[in-house]
Amino acid sequence: MHPITHAQTRPDHPAMIMAGSGKTVTFGEMDAYANRFAQLLRARGLERGDHFAVLMENNVHYLQVVWGSQRAGTMMVPISTRLTAPEIAYILKDAGAKFLLTSTHYAEAIAGIRNECPDLPLLIVGGEGDEDYEAALAAQPSEPIADQAPGQYMLYSSGTTGRPKGVKPAPPEDDDILAINPLVGLAVMGAGMPADGSMVYLSPAPLYHAAPIGWCTTAQRLGGTVVVMEKFDPEHALETIEKYKVTDSQWVPTHFVRMLKLDPEVRTRYDLSSHQRALHAAAPCPVPIKREMIEWWGPIINEYYAGSEGIGMTLIKAEDWLTHPGSVGKAIHGTLHVCDAEGEELPAGQDGLLFFENDQIPTYHNDPEKTREAMHPKGWMTLGDIGHVDEDGFLFLTDRKSHMIISGGVNIYPQEIENLLVTHDKVMDAAVIGAPCPDFGEKVVAVVQPMDMAEAGDALEAELRDFLAPSLAKIKMPKLFDFRPQLPREANGKLYKRELRDEYQQAAEQQTEQA
């Protein structure tokens, strides 16, 4: 199962549709594009294993570039469009990128990148002269290169706890670009995706993340049509499901929250009857939010837990979730282990650091220390999450180890507080962090994005405290509520808590200096 095969058997079938513009690319067109891009890589001197980077918005080029790299055996480095020029330059240098493919959409960042990386070649969608990407691509033949090989991605962490690190995958086990991809088996056998080419798959998230790239390319391997949203909008997502008769999709909890916050009249306006399977992951989903989504969409919502490292995956279908609410399922890839601080395995019901045992273990690029810290003495690897399994073997996530707050010697997990806050009808988003406290070491701070900033203030804070009080121990109750119009959240659902913690740390240091 590969787009090459579908280009031969169904060349006119849509491989991709851009949800906003309606621009459609067939499998035949994508096949020719991918060949041209592979030819371009060779013309630019990139051989198998060489790195190049991509900084682009969701556009008609992105997935086609992925397939071109997949044929050239190169390492594609997708870069978050949220990053600043210095952060982008750090990744470009760390990855050893041979060139950067970008678009005029990032003109401001490009100027900074030129200063930071003056010798790095650029190819720009909408560019001019030697940097005109579309002209460079059109100049290449559409025949396959002579030395085709499977390419890979090196995804960088979101930098939520420090400098982003590249996850360097283990080398491909098979040199055949048509070889079955493991995610295809998980999609069909685990998630129930159809393998007959009938799938219409909706991708509402940025393509530079692991899940969108992984699931979009899997859908295309299965002969399905991928509908790509240029940018997520809750009502437009529902409209797109109706318009294109979407059968499958992949989401993050923030998408669910924003759709549920729509006016009920808007939510019920669209025909979602074609929608048969909805995957979600990337961040824990509050139990009330998921329960309400299942009530709305039906038992079509399946959840998985995994990471860019690709070391393991759990999956839970809606029926099992309803009897084990809050679980992320059982392992379907890799073997799960829950361990204490000494690395000893823990019994059911006890929280510990989660490890996956797998034959294919990646490394962190240029960071052997980070790789070492993630490894168990037995060769297992952790994504840094804490959780437990119940007596039935279902995994429950507690929080990330790096997010834990220690206040007065008590361990507090922010996820519990955040999950409660976002269910309040006046809260759009929330982040809970630990801020410096001279008495207790850290204090709990809730940074809240209200539905309406005009309501931010003492009255809303009192309302939220009353709302939390029945469910939270006093030690967990936020000592401070900080209302903001926007939170530093990635479009894939991850919060940049590091930015918030750094802000409070700097404020505390300034107060100390002034004292």
Q: Mind listing the pLDDT tens digit for each residue in 347-362? A: 999 999 999 999 989 9
User: Minimum mean pLDDT among 247-256, 419-428, 473-482, 496-505: which range?
Assistant: 496-505
Dihedral class, residue 68 (left if φ above 0, else alpha if ψ from -120 to 50, else beta): alpha
Question: Please, which pLDDT band fits residue 143 given cuts at 50, 70 and 90?
Answer: very high
Q: Which two tokens stand for residue 492?
A: 């894939």
Q: Which two tokens stand for residue 197?
A: 């080419």
Bridge-based pairing state of the strands 155-156 and 225-228 = unpaired
Mean pLDDT across 294-302? 97
User: Minimum mean pLDDT among 43-47, 359-363, 506-510: which range?
Assistant: 506-510
Look up tokens 């019901």; give the residue: 349
What pLDDT does residue 473 have?
83
Question: Please, which pLDDT band fits residue 159 given cuts at 50, 70 and 90?
Answer: low
Mean pLDDT across 10-20? 98
Residues of the chain with CATH 3.40.50.12780: 22-173
Query: What is the C-alpha to C-alpha distance for residues 201 and 45, in angstroms, rounded to an integer?
Result: 35
Question: Please, which pLDDT band fits residue 181 given cuts at 50, 70 and 90?
Answer: confident
Give the dihedral of Cα atoms 88, 166, 50, 17; nearest 10 deg.
-70
Question: Please, which pLDDT band fits residue 515 given cuts at 50, 70 and 90?
Answer: low
What pLDDT does residue 271 have?
98
The yes-or-no verdict on residue 185 having pLDDT over 80 is: yes
Over the stretch 20-31, which tens digit does the pLDDT of each residue have? Answer: 999 999 999 999
The yes-or-no verdict on residue 462 having pLDDT over 90 is: yes
CATH of domain 22-173: 3.40.50.12780
How many Å is the Cα radius of gyration of the chain? 23
Q: Which two tokens stand for residue 481?
A: 């509520």
Q: Which two tokens stand for residue 370?
A: 């980070």
Query: What is the C-alpha to C-alpha distance for residues 333 and 309, in angstroms, rounded to an integer?
Result: 12
Mean pLDDT across 81-103? 95
Mean pLDDT across 56-72? 98
Question: Please, which pLDDT band fits residue 46 given cuts at 50, 70 and 90?
Answer: very high
Question: Please, which pLDDT band fits residue 162 given cuts at 50, 70 and 90?
Answer: low
What pLDDT does residue 157 have?
79
SS3 for 292?
Answer: helix
Contact 91, 164 (CB under 8 A): yes
What pLDDT does residue 220 have?
98
Q: What is the DSSP letter of 372?
A: H
Mean pLDDT across 275-302? 93
Query: What is the C-alpha to C-alpha distance for residues 63 and 58, in angstroms, rounded to an integer?
Result: 9
What pLDDT does residue 23 have?
98
Over the stretch 117-136, which tens digit does the pLDDT of each residue have? Answer: 999 999 999 999 999 999 99
Compute the C-alpha angle 68/74/75, nearest 5°.
110
Residues of the chain with CATH 3.30.300.30: 405-514
Mean pLDDT across 191-198? 93
Instruction: Name the fold adopted by 405-514.
Output: GMP Synthetase; Chain A, domain 3 (3.30.300)
Mean pLDDT across 334-345? 96
Q: Which residues contact 273 (CB under 8 A, 6 or more apart)?
A: none
Mean pLDDT across 63-74? 98
SS3 for 420?
Answer: helix
